[in-house]
Amino acid sequence: MRLDDLDPSSNAQDLGRGGGGGGGGLGGLLGLLPLLMGRKLGCGTIVIIAIIGFFIFSGGGGLGLSGGDGPGRPATGGSAETYDTQAELFSGRVLASTEQTWAQLLPGYKPAKLYFYDQNNQSGCGAAQAAMGPFYCPTDQGIYLDTSFFNQMEQQMGAGGDFAQAYVIAHEVGHHIQKLTGIADDVRQRQARVSQEEGNQLQVRMELQADCYAGVWAGQNRDRLEPGDVEEGMTAAHAIGDDTLMREAGKRPVESMFTHGTSEQRMRWLQRGMQSGDPKQCDTFAAQSL
Ligand SMILES: [Zn+2]
């Protein structure tokens, strides 16, 4: 994707290396890891964390690889050098582009913050563990990103390329849109009144809508797409489908535990957003079939 003419967003902050802290939130749950872990390491580790996410799901807006959304201290810290790697610079440009696009689509749009984090940083949603994968925290309206996740996507999930990375960020921005429109709060309230299984079904619709919004951003910036970008997006959407992640973890996919949608659904909604460039096409809550 061609974004080099854009200045990176001024809404990013590097949280630097976290000192101490940790422990709470998901961090504590990582102790369960050996119990749940099969023979697989590496990608399996992420996948297991995703599975843990299914169990402790509480409505957070991760990409499919995180489940944390507990109480925690607000993010603090930061360093003067916001963009100190190419991956961070690219992420900042993606964010800047999403800001331009959504300012046009959503009057009064207020941008999300992008926090580059490392192990042991805190977020408004609890410990931001590097292994958790990127996530959106509604409490502080921040997107938390450890760019080493991009390497994991490429090397362990076969989902490389700059557009795969852009999709990850645009998906989290999609959750920010849901926060701004009130959909996120509405869903959270409905989830509190229904069973875990119905709550998961609502979450799937949330996640697929975020995928669709990511597609809308791409569709609105069609002129910046390069050959191969659409395929990179589709490959990434496939790689982080619930059924694929569970299979990769050596588990039989169980639909009632899905929180992000199948690979096929994620690809379909990303594509729907891309082709239309229209957020109105992203009403996953009204859709009869996903
Ligand atoms: Zn998500």
Does residue 94 form part of some domain? yes
Domain-located, residue 290: no
Number of domains observed in the structure of the chain = 1
Q: What's the 66 CA to ligand 1 centre distance in angstroms?
A: 9
Query: Which residues lie below 8 Å from residue 178, measured CB to CB, with a gap of 6+?
Result: 61, 184, 187, 206, 209, 210, 213
Residue 37 belongs to some domain of the structure:
yes
Of 261, 236, 71, which is closest to residue 170 (Cα–Cα)?
236
3 inside domain: no
What would the pLDDT profile of 37-81 be if each residue is shown by its tens digit?
433 444 444 444 444 444 444 444 566 654 433 333 344 444 447
Residue 195 CA to ligand 1 center (angstroms) comes to 20
- For residue 180, give its domain range: 12-282
The 10s digit of each residue's pLDDT in 170-206 is 999 999 999 999 999 999 999 999 999 999 999 999 9
Considering the domain boundaries, does residue 240 fall inside one?
Answer: yes
pTM more than 0.85: no
Tokens 């910036």 belong to residue: 221
CA of 171 to the centre of ligand 1 (A): 6
Cα 263 to ligand 1 centroid, rounded to whole Å = 14
**Residue holding tokens 């959106």?**
136
